[in-house]
Homo-oligomer: A and B are copies of this chain.
Amino acid sequence: MPGHFTFYTRQLEGNLAFFDEQEARHAITALRYTAGQAIHFTDGFGNRYTGNIEKISKNGFTAAVVSVQSDENLPELQLAVGLLKHADRLEWMVEKCTELGVKKLWLMQTTNAIKNRINEERLQRIAVSALKQSHGCRLPHIRLISFNEVLNQPAESRLICHCQSGDELLSASSADLKGDCLVLIGPEGDFTAQEIERAHAAGFRNLSLGSAVLRTETAAMAVAAAYVVHH
């Protein structure tokens, strides 16, 4: 895969892919792709395309799809992570979770993570850049979510990571970190005891990440990495 570039678009119609101004700046202006040239791209939904560039305009360009390949081994991992205060740590987490192919990355509002807005556009841009850089084909779905809402999300394996001493009966093992899996990661300052109780009542089991107290963004990456490597 390295040695070529991967572009991104979600605008596909029949046999034709449309690339916006930003992708045109990268492909046409910076890398000097021309009409007739082959191009590799992804829709971020797990598909890798090859195409041929057709029409180039100021606002974008089009390519005719030549072939498409779906990645069957993509992680079905959903992460709900306590919303981080520091933008740089949040953005780094978005980059890493994108590289690792996380399906949904929810930024979760909890008692100890009360920020109520994110710069969705900026996070999206960072994710697209990480997707292209890593030649991936899965763009995570990133959005703000409340703790209550996350408890109602369906998943076969439902896990929670926190720093409080846990009830052994509710322990999951790393073997549960596979398939259709939703993992909650505590914010800076952790979940409250009441939140953990409510998660247990909703069927979430404790997942241990070792004896150290990981930062929120490290825990999120650790779960994504463990899922991918042992997939």
The CA of A214 and the CA of B228, in the complex, are separated in Å by 11
Chain A residues near B (Cβ < 8 Å):
1-2, 71, 73-75, 92, 96, 99-101, 133-137, 163, 174, 177, 190, 207, 209-215, 218, 221-226, 228-231
* Total identical chains: 2
Given contacts A1-B163, A1-B213, A215-B134, whether A177 and B96 have CB atoms under 8 Å apart is no
Contacts of A137 in B (CB 8 A): 211-212
B92, B190, B211, B226: which contacts A225 (Cβ < 8 A)?
B226
Query: How many whole Å from A88's CB to the nearest CB in chain B?
Result: 9
Contacts of A101 in B (CB 8 A): 210-212
B73, B133, B212: which contacts A215 (Cβ < 8 A)?
B133
**Residues B100 and A212 in contact, CB atoms below 8 Å apart:** yes
Contacts of A75 in B (CB 8 A): 210
The CA of A112 and the CA of B206, in the complex, are separated in Å by 42
The CA of A32 and the CA of B1, in the complex, are separated in Å by 55
Query: How many whole Å from A161's CB to the nearest CB in chain B?
Result: 10
**Residues B71 and A2 in contact, CB atoms below 8 Å apart:** no
B133, B136, B211, B221: which contacts A96 (Cβ < 8 A)?
B221
**Residues B215 and A99 in contact, CB atoms below 8 Å apart:** yes
**Residues A225 and B221 in contact, CB atoms below 8 Å apart:** yes
The CA of A221 and the CA of B228, in the complex, are separated in Å by 12
**Residues A226 and B218 in contact, CB atoms below 8 Å apart:** no
